[in-house]
Structure 1
Amino acid sequence: MGSIPPGSAAPSKAALLRKNATAAVESYNSWNIETILAPRHETATHEILPKSLNRPIMNNNTYRSYFSAIMPYFWNFTVTINDLLVDAEQNKVVVWARSTAMTEIGEYANEYMLMFFFDERGEKIVRSLEFVDSKVTGPYMEELGRFIREKKGSDGFERRYGN
C-alpha cells in the first residue's frame, strides 16, 4: 500500500476491506491463476463448501493445482458481485456473487457465498470459504468430467469430477 498524500485521510478499514474483497472476486475475471492468487497471503487456505462435497482444505499451492486444472475447460468466465458485507472489527467480508462461463458442454452458471478472512491490516486474504450451489455444480462438473474422459482422454480433471 502506498503512502497517503498530505491532507488526505487514510481509507477506513471497512473501505479497504471492501476494496480488497472486490478485487479478489474480480480477479477471477482475468482468468489468470497468478492474478487470482495475488490477493492471498502466502499461508492462505481455501475451502469449498458445503462440507457434504468432501473437498479438502487447500493451501495456495494445492489451490493453484486444482484451479489450473479447471481453467482450460472454461472460457468467458465472468463473476458479478450481487452484495457484499464487511465486518471491519473482525477483518471479514462476505460476498454473494454469481458467475457465468462457457464450456464444450454448454453454458455454466453458479452462485456463491464467499467469506474472506483478512490479515490484521486488511490487505491479504488468510482464509477463504467458498460456498457453491452444489445442486448445479455437482451434476455439471460430473458431466464435464465425463465429456473430458470420453472425448479428450484423461488429464486428471475427470478423476475429481467424473464417474
Structure 2
Amino acid sequence: MTSTRHQTALHFIQAFETLSVDTFLSLQTPTCQHIFAPASLSVPPKNNAAFAAHIAGIKQLMEGFPVTAKEVIDSQGSNQVVVWATSETRFRDEVKDTGIPEDEWAYKGEYLFVFTMDESGEKIERVLEFLDSKKTKDTLGPLMARARGNKARIEGDKFVSN
C-alpha cells in the first residue's frame, strides 16, 4: 500500500502526459514553489501562476511530455517523495519541420523530483526538479526554440492569408 504522499507525487508526474494545468494546480498548495536545478540553468523559481504559464507555453508546442517514474523513495520522516524519472517529448506535428529528423523531435530526458508535501500528504508545498542541464541546454532548448519559431511562422502565414 502506498502513502497519500506517494500517490500525490505520481499524480503530479502523470500530469505531464496531457500537460493539464488544472491537474498540476489541484495537487499544489496555494504557496507552492517549483524550483529548477541545477542553478546553472538560470531558471527562476516559479509560484503557481508562473508554473501554470510555463506549462501552458509548453502545451502550445507539445501534445504531451510523458514522464515515467523509474524509482520512488517515500520518506515519512521528512514528508518528502523523491522520484527519479525519464520523459519523452511529443511535439505537435504542426510545429515540427523536416529539417530535424522525426526521432530527434522525440527528446528523451532524465529528471529527479523532490516533492515536499503538506501535513496531509495530499498537496505539494515545494517541487525541486533536477534536469540534465547539458542535454536540456544542448538539445531540448534548441528544439523548443525551433518549434516556437515554426509556430510563429505558421501563425504569421495564417494572419497574412486572412
- Tell me the CA shift for residue 81 of structure 1: 0.5
Q: Does 1:67 align with 2:72?
A: no
Aligned counterparts of 2:37 and 2:83: Cα–Cα separation in 1: 14
CA-to-partner distance for each residue in 1:85-122, whole Å, 9 max, x for gaps? 01112211100011112322511111100000001121
Give the C-alpha shift of residue 145 in structure 1. 4.2
Q: How far is the alpha carbon of 1:149 from its aligned partner? A: 5.5
Would you say 1:17 and 2:5 are equivalent positions?
yes
SS at match of 1:121: coil
Q: Which residue is 1:121 aligned to?
A: 120
C-alpha displacement at 1:16, in angstroms? 1.7
Residues 121, 145 of structure 1: alpha-carbon distance in 2 compared, 3 angstrom cutoff = closer
Correspondence for 1:147: 146
Higher RCO by CA contacts (8 Å cutoff, separation 6 or greater): 2
1:93-132 to 2 correspondences below 5 Å: 93-103=81-91, 104=96, 105=100, 106-132=105-131
Q: Structure 1 length as normaliser, TM-score?
A: 0.78
TM superposition shift of 1:142: 3.0
User: Residue 31 of structure 1 corresponds to which residue in structure 2?
Assistant: 19
Q: Partner of 2:158 in structure 1?
A: none
Structure-1 separation of matches of 2:45 and 2:65: 24
Aligned sequence identity (%): 31
* Length, aligned pairs only: 142
The 2-side partners of 1:150 and 1:121 are apart by 43
Q: Residue 134 of structure 2 aligns to a residue in which SS? A: helix
Q: Which runs of 5+ in 1 are unaligned?
A: 1-10, 155-163
Matched, 1:43 2:31: yes
Shift of 1:76: 4.3
> What TM-score, normalized by structure 2, do the two folds share?
0.79
Alignment CA distance shift 1:45-1:76 (3 Å): closer
- Displacement after TM superposition at 1:66 (Å): 1.6
Q: Choose between structure 1 and 2: higher strand proportion.
A: 1
Q: RMSD between aligned alpha carbons?
A: 1.9
Query: 2: CA distance between counterparts of 1:114 and 1:50?
Result: 12
